[in-house]
Amino acid sequence: MSWLTPTVVETLIAVAQAIVILLGAVIAGALLSFVERRVLAIWQDRYGPNRVGPFGSLQLVADMLKMFFKEDWIPVFADKKIFTLAPAIAMASLLLSFMIIPITPNWGVADMNVGLLFFFAMAGINVYAVLFAGYASANKYALLGALRASAQTLSYEVFMGLSLMGVVAMAGTFNMRDIVTAQADMWNIIPQFFGFCTFLVAGIAVTHRAPFDQPEAEQELSDGYHIEYSGMKWGMFFVGEYVGVVLISALIATLFFGGWTGPLLPPIVWFLLKTGFFVAFFVLLRAALPRPRYDRVMGFGWKFCLPLTLINLLVTGAVILITSPATS
């Protein structure tokens, strides 16, 4: 076994880890679609899907079978290449972002210097999924939904980046692992409370979840940008949205709540608990809040959240300057 050098073994382990994390993210996203319906139902005092399997746990399998065997129809008036490309971008860009999330001290795909920025880059690419879907469908509802979605995402991405700069400034690095270890004394939620609030709002808006789901508003746009999609292409948009929810929850847990750190329990459990808490919070928000008007959403982003993040960043910078020892 001369080829089984330590480097090869390390590479194989890293590849296996990456595949496990990828599959874990996809399965978590897919399962979430069932969990959300069930949990929403419980909160709204009804049963939800409880027919397939014990407690409805096989509902996901039934949904997937239905989706796979549906006719995968591409409208004749659509721009075929871009129409096919859009769902792939929707899913891939969000899945790639899982690369930077450190799950435990030893688990994680990439340990990059520019970690957090990589997430912003992928979030920026993710806009094209909606934009291209809306354009290629050649449908007025899809186009309007895509226009709304891209304007909303662009506006909210501006201060999503700024809201995390306080965290970056405190840790002194974009590296996610170093950000987690920098929170050993105190979780970022306390000094960066406003950063947390604005990042939460921006995260919901960027994944187009309720109450920021105007791009998909069914009463005005009858589903928005993915109105022409069917079968697995639609399924990819659908799962992509839930993958986005898991991703934002994992990011919040990592950036503001100390990631894998915590007493007694092993790191992986702490990470999953914290992420699960925010996933549940996302679902609860959908159950609790009505959908605001579109212009209010845009106004709130630009007139309230953006100034708040700028002030937060300024104050954070001032505090760091005052407290840090002077270096020449």
Partner 1 sequence: MEFAFYLAAAVAVVSTLRVVTSINPVHALLYLIVSLIAVAMVFFALGAPFAGVLEIIVYAGAIMVLFVFVVMMLNLGQAAVEQENSWLNPKMWIGPSILVGIMLVMMIVALFASPVEGTITGELIDAKGVGVALFGPYVLMVELASMLLLGALVTAYHLGRDDTLRPARDMNESRQHLTRDHRGTRQ
For residue 294, state whether it binds partner 1 (rule: CB under 8 A): no
For residue 151, state whether it binds partner 1 (rule: CB under 8 A): yes
Nearer to partner 1, 135 or 196 (CB): 135
Are residues 72 and 230 in contact, defined by beta-carbon separation less than 8 angstroms? yes
Listed ranges 111-119, 198-206, 233-241, 282-290: which one lies at the site for partner 1 (CB under 8 A): 111-119
Number of residues that bind partner 1 (CB under 8 A): 30
Write each residue from 68 to 87 as x if it is in contact with partner 1 (CB under 8 A), else as -, in one continuous string: -----------x-xx--x--
22, 92, 147, 285: residue in contact with partner 1 (rule CB under 8 A): 147
34, 174, 229, 242: residue in contact with partner 1 (rule CB under 8 A): 174
For residue 66, state whether it binds partner 1 (rule: CB under 8 A): no
- Give CA 267 to chain center in angstroms: 21
Listed ranges 61-69, 113-121, 199-207, 279-287: which one lies at the site for partner 1 (CB under 8 A): 113-121
Instruction: Find the shortest distance in angstroms from Cβ 176 to partner 1.
Output: 14
131, 160, 279, 306: residue in contact with partner 1 (rule CB under 8 A): 131
For residue 319, state whether it binds partner 1 (rule: CB under 8 A): no
Closest CA to 137 of 149, 146, 148: 146
Listed ranges 2-10, 149-157, 249-257, 314-322: which one lies at the site for partner 1 (CB under 8 A): 149-157
Listed ranges 141-149, 199-207, 248-256, 294-302: which one lies at the site for partner 1 (CB under 8 A): 141-149
Instruction: Find the shortest distance in angstroms from Cβ 142 to partner 1.
Output: 11
Are residues 103 and 268 in contact, defined by beta-carbon separation less than 8 angstroms? yes
Nearer to partner 1, 41 or 169 (CB): 169
Nearer to partner 1, 83 or 278 (CB): 83
Q: How far is CA 118 from CA 7, 15, 29, in A?
A: 26, 20, 21
For residue 125, state whether it binds partner 1 (rule: CB under 8 A): yes
Please name the residues in contact with 122: beta carbons below 8 A apart, sequence gap of 6 or more.
93, 94, 96, 97
Nearer to partner 1, 159 or 260 (CB): 159
For residue 225, state whether it binds partner 1 (rule: CB under 8 A): no
24, 75, 105, 124: residue in contact with partner 1 (rule CB under 8 A): 124
For residue 113, state whether it binds partner 1 (rule: CB under 8 A): yes
Instruction: Find the shortest distance in angstroms from Cβ 212 to partner 1.
Output: 18
Instruction: Find the shortest distance in angstroms from Cβ 127 to partner 1.
Output: 5
CA distance 120 to 203: 11
Please name the residues in contact with 42: beta carbons below 8 A apart, sequence gap of 6 or more.
48
Provide the residue type at 33 as one letter.
S
Chain contacts with partner 1 (rule: CB under 8 A): 79, 81-82, 85, 112-114, 117-118, 120-121, 123-125, 127-128, 131-132, 134-135, 143, 146-147, 150-151, 154, 157, 161, 173-174
